[in-house]
Amino acid sequence: LAKTTQPISMDSYEGQEVNITCSHNNIATNDYITWYQQFPSQGPRFIIQGYKTKVTNEVASLFIPADRKSSTLSLPRVSLSDTAVYYCLVANTGTASKLTFGTGTRLQVTL
Amino acid sequence: SQTIHQWPATLVQPVGSPLSLECTVEGTSNPNLYWYRQAAGRGLQLLFYSVGIGQISSEVPQNLSASRPQDRQFILSSKKLLLSDSGFYLCASGLGESYEQYFGPGTRLTVT
């Protein structure tokens, strides 16, 4: 599985757009990029997944350049409740779809 | 959507005591099931996964074991707990080749 690198922490004010970038230089052709969100004392929650270009859902957008060696999770107009740890994962469709979680990016949103 | 049940929510156990954590899944059939452990301030470590009844794969050799006696039941066990077994244990469920896994509420285990 490709290794991912993302910032340890980020701070933002409420109402701002937050962009979290993840590097995955060794991503393989059949790998997908997936992001999860985790609140304290809870299990992670799936946010978004993509292969290339741009993907958008009701929660976030995911931007993936043509070389796919990085990806950016964009959270529009964050609120205090977006304070969480965000994990970038690269995974392929193996038999069990195993996921490898790193330490993630701890996002702190303040007023 | 799937719902993952885990119990107990918290557990304090002495070193050397046995452990049994149970996870059950609602809302799907024949899921892939996973046990993760998360140490304080760290990412999740995959411990075991299962693609079917009685089929268990271990990711990290240690004094823990897992069993899947029914399609939607996954059990994590230990015969003798170590201090290093303390952590937040999460059960997750996924379907086939999907990258979306649903996580349970977790069990916080403290070994004293």
Which amino acid would we find at residue A65? P
Residue B92 and residue B34 in contact, taking contact as beta carbons nearer than 8 Å = yes
Q: How far is A100 from chain B (nearest CA, A)?
A: 7
Predicted local distance difference test score (pLDDT) of residue B105: 95
Predicted local distance difference test score (pLDDT) of residue B26: 95
| Interface test with chain A among B33, B74, B97, by most A beta carbons within 10 Å | B97
Span B66-79, average pLDDT: 97
Predicted local distance difference test score (pLDDT) of residue B41: 80
Nearest chain B alpha carbon to A50: B99
Q: How far is A87 from chain B (nearest CA, A)?
A: 9
Residue B23 and residue B5 in contact, taking contact as beta carbons nearer than 8 Å = yes
Is B26 in the A-facing interface, judged by CB distances under 8 Å? no
Pick B46's closest partner by Cβ from A44, A87, A98.
A98
> What contacts A108, CB < 8 A, 6 or more positions away?
A9, A10, A11, A12, A83
Q: How far is A37 from chain B (nearest CA, A)?
A: 11
Is B49 in the A-facing interface, judged by CB distances under 8 Å? yes
Q: How far apart are CA B13 and CA B22, in angstroms?
A: 16
What would the pLDDT profile of B30-69 be if each residue is shown by its tens digit? 999 999 999 888 889 999 999 999 999 998 868 999 999 9
What would the pLDDT profile of A30-83 be if each residue is shown by its tens digit? 889 999 999 998 999 999 999 988 999 999 999 999 999 999 999 999 999 999
- Average pLDDT for chain A: 91
